[in-house]
């Protein structure tokens, strides 16, 4: 798939999986996110967590290379697809980049409108979009959503 098609499908999804690599090996977690061009942002929000010292943040500090995956499964296998975004992540604690990222997330997720996230932002600069789809019509469906 072309990068623009990958970006379109990925952007339309409500959740993706973030893969990082740390001293204890690979780590994979579901995240909510927003896309702006070749930039993907996510935030440590107020959902209950056992700690604020999240493994994903420590892993990014140790090795900023990350991958994100969004996909769609359907019993009708002509509707299957996946998109992967590989890139370099950074952590934004404050500043205009943090504010802009949170604004993107607030625009996408109604849950953030009443309680704006204040935690660190993970910002991924995508260096490679890749993906697969069972049918070319799948991108058309995503554009109509």
Token pair recorded at residue 58: 């420590």
Asked if pLDDT for residue 140 goes beyond 90, the answer is no
The stretch 24-29 carries a mean pLDDT of 94
Domain boundaries, the chain: 3-140
Residue 141: band (very low, low, confident or very high) from pLDDT cuts 50, 70, 90: low
Where does residue 54 rank: exposed (0-12), middle (13-18), buried (19+ CB within 10 A)? middle
- Tell the CATH superfamily of the 3-140 domain: Electron Transport, Fmn-binding Protein; Chain A (2.30.110.10)
pLDDT in tens, 82-99: 999 999 999 999 999 999
- Name the nearest CA neighbour of 89 among 70, 61, 108: 61
pLDDT score, position 136: 78
């Amino acid at each position: 798939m072309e990068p623009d098609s990958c970006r379109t499908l990925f952007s339309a999804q409500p959740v993706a999986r973030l893969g990082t690599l740390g001293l204890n090996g690979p780590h994979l977690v579901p995240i909510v996110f927003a896309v702006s061009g070749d930039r993907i942002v996510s935030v440590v929000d107020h959902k209950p967590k056992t700690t604020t010292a999240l493994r994903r943040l420590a892993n990014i500090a140790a090795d900023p290379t990350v991958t994100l995956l969004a996909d769609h499964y359907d019993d009708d296998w002509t509707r299957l697809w996946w998109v992967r975004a590989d890139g370099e992540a950074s952590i934004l604690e404050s500043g205009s980049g943090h504010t802009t990222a949170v604004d993107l997330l607030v625009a996408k997720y109604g849950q953030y409108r009443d309680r704006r996230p204040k935690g660190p932002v993970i910002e991924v600069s995508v260096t490679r979009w890749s993906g697969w789809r069972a049918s070319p019509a799948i991108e058309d469906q995503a554009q109509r959503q």
